[in-house]
Chain A
């Protein structure tokens, strides 16, 4: 396997982009990454998109989007793993370069979620759960995470206030990110008094519905070294694991087994542990998600994720900042694009290009992108070399 580097990334401000089509927001991000990488060709393209079919009535995205690039009949592959589609697209691009199959691969993610109304968007997202044995009963994603939260709160004493602190922290980080959809700061009181969506998850516990895209260009590290003097962003590990699709089939409903498994593999590949991380971008689709993710990543002890968050350990000026970008909570969550946008943030941070939200002395970074209630997780590790 060849060592792989990310040499260009692209994304634009996310939000409700009513004036722009699915293909336009994708192409804008893709071109930014290609221009930044200063490459005159792309050998293959991978796009992560959860549901072109349900959100915009369009499938066959590999061909449709490859055509938009104007680079001829290159292979275009669409991958889907619910909200982990973007992370999986990046992984497929990584594998293509690492294996030697292709030299310059464009990893992208996109979702256009605001062309449909709220009920249809909620339904589209709910297809990431077991349609026949969860969705059939009218459960939603906020509802599933609410049920996970209730187990966590009862077993470990995680408090409502601790969950709110995830949102407070991530909105504070997002307020420093010009690409964030909701860059406003929020208080714990505002989170805890926002509208109830699925008890105990309230509106400000949930990531928003977002239109957006992100892209990254991957090449062999040796190839990058010949072109410039660096520093380079090396992909140090790529791991992917799955778990039961239905929450109720899971041995422990308050633990993210797929994240723990993928993290274990990733740390092993890179010969590092969680304490070596300079920061991480985690899949905070709900406040409880981040609490459970940092436990599965080994940043917090099991059951202590809420307490650790409230202590400031994961804040921008803490020991291991989590979601300096603002996370899904503040930056937005166009489901298929999220995993690639995590890579965008990591690359910008490791380059030292993040201004007010810059993590000091960043060297090692982790991205954790998750589908469903954790039925799939994709983790990557990056190192500045």
Chain B
């Protein structure tokens, strides 16, 4: 469901985990934004997100939206990256029934959506068990 230009714009985040760190208060934003919500600072320095972390919460999607129906059931988690912020992504290469809060995971480059409205394959990140 994602057009080509729209996906292309997000490539620095989806392929390279590029985030922005506020120069004044060190808050990290992913994706980068123009104003810091914590201190209203407008100067940022590019930073790359750490690629390992811990599951803070998760679910297993059994009734999927258009574009994902062939993949259900699949797990989606909110992961607190080590010494950094939280991100949301699917957790794959695991037994969804055994997933638990506190599980260690790492980011991997994967195909996320196929054959969107523009016919493009959208790549991005998914989590896999760390070990």
List residues of chain A with CB under 8 Å of any chain B CB.
118-120, 122-123, 126, 132-140, 142-144, 146-148, 150-151, 154, 195-201, 246-249, 253
Contact = CB atoms under 8 A, between A and B. Distances in A.
Q: Is the interface of B mostly helix, strand, loop or mixed?
A: strand
B62 A196 contact: yes
A249 B65 CA distance: 22
A263 B49 CA distance: 36
B93 interface: no
A136 B2 contact: yes
B58 interface: yes
B60 A199 contact: yes
B26 interface: no
Contact of A148 (B57, B64, B68): B57
B112 interface: yes
A247 B61 contact: no
A146 B60 CA distance: 9
B113 A136 contact: yes
B88 A142 contact: no
A134 B88 contact: yes
A150 to B, nearest CB: 5
Chain B interface size, under 10 / 10 to 19 / 20 to 34 / 35 or more: 35 or more
**Highest count of chain A CB atoms <10 Å: which of B1, B31, B126:** B1
A138 B58 CA distance: 13
**Highest count of chain A CB atoms <10 Å: which of B66, B69, B86, B122:** B66
A248 B88 contact: yes
B69 to A, nearest CB: 6
A201 B76 CA distance: 14
B58 A140 contact: no
B35 interface: no
Nearest to B10: A132
Contact of B68 (A132, A138, A150, A197): A138
Contacts of A196: 60, 62
A355 B43 CA distance: 61
Contacts of B25: none
A378 to B, nearest CB: 22
B88 A140 contact: no
Contact of A133 (B31, B68, B122, B126): B31
B89 interface: yes
A88 B65 CA distance: 27
Nearest to B69: A119
B12 interface: no
**Highest count of chain A CB atoms <10 Å: which of B1, B2, B57, B58:** B57
A35 B71 CA distance: 51
Contacts of B85: 248-249
Contact of B59 (A118, A122, A143, A246): A143
Given A119-B65, A248-B78, 13 more contacts: A122-B63, A126-B65, A136-B113, A136-B124, A137-B88, A137-B112, A138-B67, A143-B59, A143-B76, A151-B57, A198-B61, A253-B56, A253-B57
Given A138-B68, A148-B57, A253-B57, A133 B87 contact: yes
Nearest to B79: A248
Interface in B35-82: 56-69, 71, 74, 76-78
Contacts of B112: 136-138
B34 interface: no
Contacts of B124: 136-137
A139 B60 contact: no
Contact of B76 (A119, A123, A139, A200): A139
Contacts of A123: 1, 65-67
A247 B88 contact: yes
A139 B61 contact: yes
Q: Closest 10 A-B residue pairs measured CB to CB?
A: A146-B59, A138-B68, A248-B86, A123-B65, A119-B66, A147-B57, A122-B65, A123-B66, A199-B60, A248-B78
